[in-house]
Homo-oligomer: A and B are copies of this chain.
Amino acid sequence: MAQQLPSAPFPILTSVSEVREWRAARQAAGEQVGFVPTMGALHDGHLSLVRASLLANEATVISIFVNPAQFAPHEDLATYPRTIEADIAALASLTIPVEGSSSPRTVSALFLPPISALYPSGIDTDVSKQRGTFLEVKGLQEVMEGVSRPGFFRGVATVVIKLFNIIQPTKAYFGQKDIQQALLLRRMLTDLHVPAPLASNLVIIPTYRDAASELALSSRNAYLRAEERPWATVLIDALHKAQQVWDEQKTKGAVVVKDVLEAARASVRAVEKKAQEEGKGVEVRLIYVALNDPDELWDLEKGESAMVPRGKGAVLSGAVMLGRTRLIDNLVFDYPLN
């Protein structure tokens, strides 16, 4: 790569052949490999995934790759935060003591591929101009985030299967923050009978939240202007209101889908109004709030029944625009993620 990289206490691999060689050595050493795919701009949420991998695997590899195929032409590919030096420093600082061993575990390698390694014939964000192999996960890709972002999960599934095939991890780690991504990728692993990682080894780590506000950490939070930050909890506050309705109705039996959703929507609407009145130019806008089946991601609001029966869980998710920044969050009810 033309770019000069900071020195790191772990190898920085940039080609597929380097990764294959590194992986073969791990195999020969009998080591399990944990893998955390990222787009960089690492924050404590990402680092919690890396920590989980360090705890469970002898070797941990992280990838940083801002994947053009998951951005629409009008989206923020060019301006997506790129903080490679800080990312490497953050990864280098991670040290996990291992019970029964005198040497702590640290990151084993960073995979930092150029675009040409993952898209040898190039990649256009305009789907109609793309050539080559792409994956879709029909049904699961069209709901929730997929409604506002057609093509997004196609881009995600395509790059992740490539990364999996290159790294062949024993386990792979994803954040609950992007719950649809994690469940859709697990379905992809099941459908395609991918051997590494097995679907049962896709691990979903709870969303990392700011301790005081419960705001979910996100690389896109960096886009928020100072005056917008106090309003950033609008979505998680709304989801918590809906959770109260879920919990109350669940203790009595089935849950009425529209009651849960209306609690969240009313909460966002109230904040939208408040921002208009006192926000000094801050704009809050609800994109969607949805309740979905955790296995098939069916939209429960469009389902045949208006109720979620006792014993069935659900994913409550939503997106809001805060000024020009798109924030997403979710809560999962009564469903074990791992």
Contacts and interface: CB of A to CB of B under 8 A. Distances in A.
Interface in A78-129: 120
A194 interface: yes
Contacts of A162: 191-193
A133 B132 contact: no
Per DSSP, chain A at the interface is mixed
A interface bracket (residues with beta carbon within 8 Å of B): 20 to 34
A192 B157 CA distance: 11
A138 interface: yes
A132 B187 CA distance: 7
Contacts of A270: none
A135 B138 contact: no
A188 interface: yes
A301 interface: no
A199 to B, nearest CB: 11
A131 B139 contact: yes
Contacts of A296: 131
B132 A135 contact: no
Given A165-B194, A193-B165, A194-B165, A133 B135 contact: yes
B134 A136 contact: yes
Given A168-B195, A193-B162, A131 B138 contact: yes
A148 interface: no
Given A165-B195, A195-B165, A195-B168, A190 B120 contact: yes
Contact of A132 (B20, B138, B168): B138
A166 interface: yes
A191 B133 contact: yes
Interface in A128-185: 130-140, 157, 161-162, 165-166, 168
**Residue in A20, A135, A187 whose Cβ sees the most chain B Cβ within 10 Å:** A135
Contact of A133 (B130, B131, B188): B188
18 contacts: A131-B138, A131-B140, A131-B296, A132-B137, A132-B139, A132-B140, A133-B157, A133-B187, A133-B191, A134-B135, A134-B136, A161-B192, A162-B193, A165-B192, A165-B194, A165-B195, A166-B193, A168-B195
